[in-house]
Amino acid sequence: MNPEDQSLAAAKALGGRVSVACLPCRNRHVRCDAQQPICIRCSSEGRTCQYVKSRRGGLNRARLAERRRARNGDGAVAGSPSDASAESRSPGQAVGQDYRATGGNSSTLSQEPSARASESETSDLEGECHPCALPQQKLQQYYEKTPEQGSLALLVAVMRFIGSLYSFPDLTPQLQDKVTEGFQAARKLAPDPFLAQCHLLYSISLYWSTEKVKAREEIDTAIGIALNLGMNHCQFASEHGRGDAVLEESFRRTWWQLFCIDAYYAAIKRLPTFSLCEVNTDTDLPCEEDEYESGSIPTPKTLEDFDTREFGPENQSFSSFAYLIGATRSIALALSAGAPDASNWLSPKTIAEVDAIIDGWFLLLPKSKREVLKEDNVVDELMFQAQMAVHANLIALHRPFSKLPFHPLEGVSSCLVEPPKRLPVKDSEAAHTQRCLQSIEAQLQLLVLPAQPCRRSPFTVCMTAACSHTLLAAIKVHFSGRQLAVARHQLRLVVGYIRALAKVWPQGVKNLDEIQIIAQEILSRKNESPRRTATPEKVNVNSQKPSVVDGAPCIEGLDNWINPAITLENPDSLSSYWNFSNDFQPDIPIWFSSY
């Protein structure tokens, strides 16, 4: 047997998946046994075997195994409190005692499956997509050394619950019960930034588990804690960070993560503003992710520095988190400039102002931030979010002026790009159409970057929905020939991306069903392609509008796109439509050629 056959046989003998693969195996999409320092496949093929350095720190497999053997050998539980100290704790400390007891060995935040989930799988959600909690190594240190663990132990419980959604769904109900008990016990504790983090992260998980009302309550609680503590002021982190630069950075990140998530919720509900948008803040901006993980925290940059970056040197750069914050603030300013009740809503002047705001953000991005895929083949998740959000907003802005009409069935979407109540006067349709198509293409290029979609922020589902709805309209009325064929493959990419996230988040399943029912109707061959040659007459479609979770949109016109054969009152119909991703082909080289 030649070396290649031996490596293949060895790889097949592994059976299950491994949590990490080396870069050569990952880039070639082949199975890796993840042995370190060199895997079997690279060893047999004479390749240089390299692994991406963990972004969360902590112990590697060998050191974890050594620690387990040592623990099992002497029977001790390192760092566990004595019975006497446990009995002497006050009622306000009960939550910390409870979670340490159920968590097992506190030195590794427990080695139960629930803990393994929080250490590995949730690193993408909490460590890369929505980073505000302490890096794992620092969190572990505080967990071990802090006698009164109250809110910190609850934070670990929330992280374990989120981790179970990824890898141990059978443990999810049990872990969620623990979180619920922890929040009840935490009522006796004085609010602190860790408790705000608990409510924030729990809110995200609840929202994408379809518990939207409860999710809103949780983030409102987190916002209330942050405002009462004064986390929106720059001096808060230094005054309460115990002289620990990493802890101070975590507090700054908590405030800004609240700001971004509050904005995301508002964008999904199509609100022109959100609560934290009106709050005065001078909290310093977060540093780069690798600096946060390593503990090498530089002097933080200020909002004033960011807002005057056009006067700085060309090579001046801010962190990815700072650019995400800048994008969120830009979008918030854009939305508030055209509030639905304003007389200038969707006027050419408003469009020009918003374009200037968003284009200014793009043009001032340094080269290192324009490329979302970094040199080590790792996706910058925060810049991924920022660019996806900006392009979704551009699509929502320009589509009403474009040649890409709205379909009444788009009202079924809980991530709706809502049409205006009055169709705007058409001016420069071609230019607006091109802006929409450019943003669609930019989003599609982001979706094919090398990373598992399920590890992305679930909020990108709604950002992608804006792309899918507009792409469907372009397929129906704009593309033809080869462009049409390519666009159909692009649609499969979008559906495949959302489907991957739906495997983790139940709300993603609902969003996927919505897109499929809309696509089935729009692309049905029995419907003629509508060409908007004139402003359509006002049509009452109330009897045919589906219910919408976050508020029913006002849709007028386009009566020729309504298919009376589809009954949206039957919820089972959402799952009865054909699946675009059956033919999903992620390696087609012609997807992103110019239109």
Annotate 16-66 with DSSP letters as a single string.
S--S---HHHHHTT------SSS-HHHHHHTPPP--PPPSS-S--HHHHHH
Sign, CA dihedral 564-570-576-577, equals positive
The secondary element (H helix, E strand) that includes residue 574 is none
Check whether 569 has a pLDDT greater than 60: no
Residue corresponding to tokens 């959000």:
389
- What DSSP assignment string belongs to 269-306? TT-S--GGGGS---PPPP--HHHHHHT-PPPPPPHHHH
pLDDT grade for 63, boundaries at 50, 70 and 90: low
What pTM was computed for the model? 0.70
Q: What pLDDT sits at residue 69?
A: 57
Residue 414 lies in a domain: yes
DSSP string, 233-256: STHHHHHHSTT-HHHHHHHHHHHH
Say which residue, 325 or 120, is predicted with more confidence. Answer: 325
pLDDT for 420: 61
563 has pLDDT over 50: no
Kindly report the CA angle at 505 between 319 and 105, in degrees rounded to 5?
75
Query: Residue 45 has what pLDDT?
Result: 74
pLDDT value, residue 568: 34
269 within a domain of the structure (yes/no): no
pLDDT band (50, 70, 90) for residue 552? very low
Instruction: Identify which of 406, 427, 397 has the alpha carbon closest to the alpha carbon of residue 539.
Output: 406
| pLDDT (average), residues 244-267 | 96
Q: Which is higher by pLDDT, 311 or 12?
A: 311
- pLDDT value of position 450: 84
Q: Round the average pLDDT of the chain to a whole number and report it.
A: 75
Task: Say how many CA atoms lie within 13 Å of 217 toward its Cβ.
Answer: 6
Question: With 70 as the cut, is the pLDDT of residue 566 above it?
Answer: no
Q: What is the pLDDT of residue 67?
A: 57
| pLDDT at 585 exceeding the cut of 60 | no
3-class state of residue 379 by DSSP: strand
Instruction: Look at 202 and 347; give whichever has higher pLDDT.
Output: 202
Q: Does 134 have pLDDT greater than 90?
A: yes
51, 58, 222: which is closest to 130 by C-alpha? Answer: 222
**Cβ atoms of 403 and 478 closer than 8 Å:** yes
Residue 425 lies in a domain: yes
Number of H helices, E strands in the chain: 24, 0
Query: DSSP code of 595?
Result: -
- 572 pLDDT higher than 70: no
- 303 falls in which pLDDT band (50, 70, 90)? very high
Report, as an integer, the average pLDDT of 500-506. 94
pLDDT surpassing 50 at residue 123 = no
pLDDT of residue 381: 94
Q: Is the pLDDT of residue 452 over 90?
A: no
Distance CA(518)–CA(485), nearest Å, equals: 19
For range 442-466, the mean pLDDT: 91
Q: What is the pLDDT of residue 485?
A: 92
Coil/strand/helix, residue 182: helix
- Nearest by Cα to 342 from 269, 416, 272: 272
Higher pLDDT, 553 or 367: 367
Query: Are the C-beta atoms of residues 131 and 319 closer than 8 Å to each other?
Result: no
Q: Are residues 502 and 511 in contact, defined by beta-carbon separation less than 8 angstroms?
A: yes
C-alpha closest to that of 419 among 449, 398, 436, 446? 398
Taking the C-alpha atoms of residue 502 and residue 496, their distance in angstroms, rounded to an integer, is 10
Span 100-129, average pLDDT: 44
Position 84 confidence tier, pLDDT thresholds 50, 70, 90 = very low
The pLDDT value given to residue 73: 52
Assess contact for 140 and 147: CB atoms under 8 A: no
Does residue 433 have a pLDDT over 60? yes
State the amino acid at position 484 in one-letter form.
L
The arithmetic mean of pLDDT across residues 460-473, rounded, is 93
- Residue 25's domain comprises 3-45
Q: Is residue 160 part of a domain?
A: no
Whether residue 251 has pLDDT greater than 60: yes
Q: Would 517 be classed as within a structural domain?
A: yes
Share of the chain above pLDDT 70, in %: 67
pLDDT tens digits for range 398-412: 888 889 988 888 877
C-alpha closest to that of 523 among 555, 569, 492: 492
Residue predicted with more confidence, 273 or 445: 445
Q: Tell whether the model's pLDDT for residue 80 goes beyond 90.
A: no
Query: What DSSP string describes 501-566?
Result: HHTT-HHHHHHHHHHHHHHHHHT-TTSPPP---SPPPP---GGGPPP-TT-PPP--S-GGG--TT-
Does a structural domain hold residue 133? no
- Mean pLDDT lowest among 34-43, 282-291, 367-376: 34-43
What pLDDT score does 89 carry? 36
* 3-state DSSP assignment of residue 373: strand
Q: Which pLDDT value is given to residue 377?
A: 86
Task: Give 373's strand partners.
Answer: 379
Position 50 scores a pLDDT of: 79
Q: Is residue 505 part of a domain?
A: yes
Lowest mean pLDDT among 133-142, 169-178, 538-547: 538-547
Total domains, the chain: 2
Q: Dihedral of the CA atoms 126, 180, 165, 200 (nearest 10)?
A: -30
Over 90: is that where the pLDDT of 437 sits?
yes
What pLDDT, on a 0 to 100 scale, did the predictor assign at position 286?
97
Q: Side-chain half-sphere of 189: how many Cα atoms within 13 Å?
A: 24
Side chain identity, residue 116: R
Query: What pLDDT does 418 receive?
Result: 61
Kindly indicate the confidence band of residue 236, based on its pLDDT and cuts at 50, 70 and 90: very high
* Better-predicted residue by pLDDT, 421 or 113: 421
Closest CA to 287 of 259, 315, 244, 250: 250
